[in-house]
Amino acid sequence: MTSMHQLGTDSIHSFKQKLPMFEASIHDPDTLKEIYRYTFGYAKNKGQKCMDVEVACEIWNMLLANSFPLTVQFVDFLREADPVRVINKDQWSNFFEFVSSVSDDLIDYDETSAWPVLFDEFVAWKREHR
């Protein structure tokens, strides 16, 4: 109720009128990054430190695939190669930086950087499948 009041909505109809505002906010890089950071704690199972791979894949597809095409390829890698069963917080946190800073052809991927090993495995897999 508090959130609805803060939004100035008092019905489903008035809430639906706010949807374009929410959709536009996802295109703001700072807002998207904030939403992304929040999502890990929200989506993982209570009491666990990791998120199931399938849950992570679905969230990545919903939040990042339209803005960062490398996301789709990474999800394909996770589903085909099946290298891990869960995504830990370090992998989750670094993924946003990875897809937003590395080009889709991976030409600028620096293997000496401190990326999680899973990303190195993805790069090797992608280069094999070119």
Domain membership of residue 9 (yes or no) is: no
End-to-end Cα distance, the chain: 52
Domain membership of residue 122 (yes or no) is: yes
Higher-confidence residue of 64 and 4: namely: 64
Name residues whose C-beta falls within 8 Å of residue 67's C-beta, 6 or more positions apart in sequence: 27, 32
Domain that holds residue 34: 28-128
Q: If pLDDT is split at 50, 70 and 90, which confidence band does 4 have?
A: confident
Q: At what angle do helices 89-101 and 70-81 cross, to 10 degrees?
A: 140
- Supply the CATH number for residue 46's domain: 1.10.238.200
Domain membership of residue 4 (yes or no) is: no
Q: Quick one: average pLDDT of 85-107? A: 96
Domain membership of residue 113 (yes or no) is: yes
Query: pLDDT tens, 41-88?
Result: 999 988 999 999 999 999 999 999 999 999 999 999 999 999 999 999
Domain count, the chain: 1
Q: If pLDDT is split at 50, 70 and 90, which confidence band does 3 have?
A: confident
